[in-house]
Amino acid sequence: MHPILRQIKQMKIRGAINIGLAVLDYLEDIGKNGFDEEFRKNADQAWKVRPTTVVAYNVVQAVLQNPSMKRIDEIRKSLHRINDAVPKSMCQRLRKLGKSLSVLTHCHSTEFVETMKQCKSRGMDIEVYVTETRPKMQGKITARALADAGIAVSYMVDDAEGLFMNDIDVVITGSDSIRKEGIVNKIGTMEFALLAKAFKKPFLVASSIWKIDTRKEFQIEFRPARELGFSYPGVKVLNPAFDITPWKYVSGVIVENGELRRWKDANKYVLPSGKG
């Protein structure tokens, strides 16, 4: 396996946009041998390494439309712009909720962390609760990044979210894919959304038009059982990496130039890959 794809598989590179950027590095590397049939075949393998995360798929489709180094570079610039545009939109949305906000999040999303930094730089008073996110503990990445940015942050076990639901103003997560069935994100996200609904708190998602998923076939990635650190004869260990939050629990999905409240709203956007 190509070293970049191996790093994606082993989650040394992770998070939807980072995976998309790494896939572009991979395409650039294999493109050095030319953009022929072999390139097309190998390009199509890239998104299958972590199949749930649609950015990788959309990036591959966009490059395959017109494969060249220039095209790869254009797409790279477009992905980099997300981490500026989406946090800006998200901050404007959050400002409507108040100047001082207590936020609950799950896992690690670059878009979420950048949003919190933007809000702070605009003078908002932000406090974040983050869950550890078993079994890979990506909550630690979020907690460290926020603390390093001078944002008040508390770290807690995954099942503590219900206890703090009364104390927070809004739940925000990242997203891997926006689909007809709902929002695909780290396993556990659906519980956050359900609790938010029960406690009448908004559930917002930081996303991007690159995450709109129009693939008919879709699979939730199941990772190796060994990541859970438990085995016993007769016990089947399940390790799904993502879940799907139905649209009825979602208050808004923030993308570059707007907000989606239902799947139908995705029709307004032509995907950069040309599909959609």
Q: Angle at Cα 21 formed by Cα 81 and Cα 224, nearest 5°?
A: 135
Nearer to ligand RUB, 136 or 201 (CB): 136
Catalytic residue among 25, 29, 91, 107: 107
Nearer to ligand RUB, 61 or 109 (CB): 109
Number of H helices, E strands in the chain: 9, 10
Give the nearest distance from C-beta 131 to ligand RUB in angstroms. Answer: 12
The span from the CA of 15 to the CA of 110, in Å, is 7
Asked whether the beta carbons of 53 and 110 are under 8 A apart, the reply is no
CA trace torsion 75, 80, 84, 87 (10° rounding): 90
Give the nearest distance from C-beta 232 to ligand RUB in angstroms. Answer: 25
Which residues pair with residue 129 across a beta bridge? Answer: 104, 154
Contacting residues toward ligand RUB, per CB under 6 A? 14-18, 107, 109-111, 138, 173-176, 185-186, 241
Q: Read off the amino acid at residue 108.
A: H
Give the nearest distance from C-beta 225 to ligand RUB in angstroms. Answer: 16
Nearest Cα residue to 111 out of 74, 139, 149, 85: 85
Is 119 an annotated catalytic residue? Answer: no
Which residues pair with residue 9 across a beta bridge? Answer: none
Catalytic residue among 91, 119, 176, 213: 176
Is 107 an annotated catalytic residue? Answer: yes
Nearer to ligand RUB, 111 or 161 (CB): 111
Nearer to ligand RUB, 35 or 118 (CB): 118
Give the nearest distance from C-beta 215 to ligand RUB in angstroms. Answer: 17
Six token digits for residue 214: 């129009």
Residues noted as catalytic: 107, 176
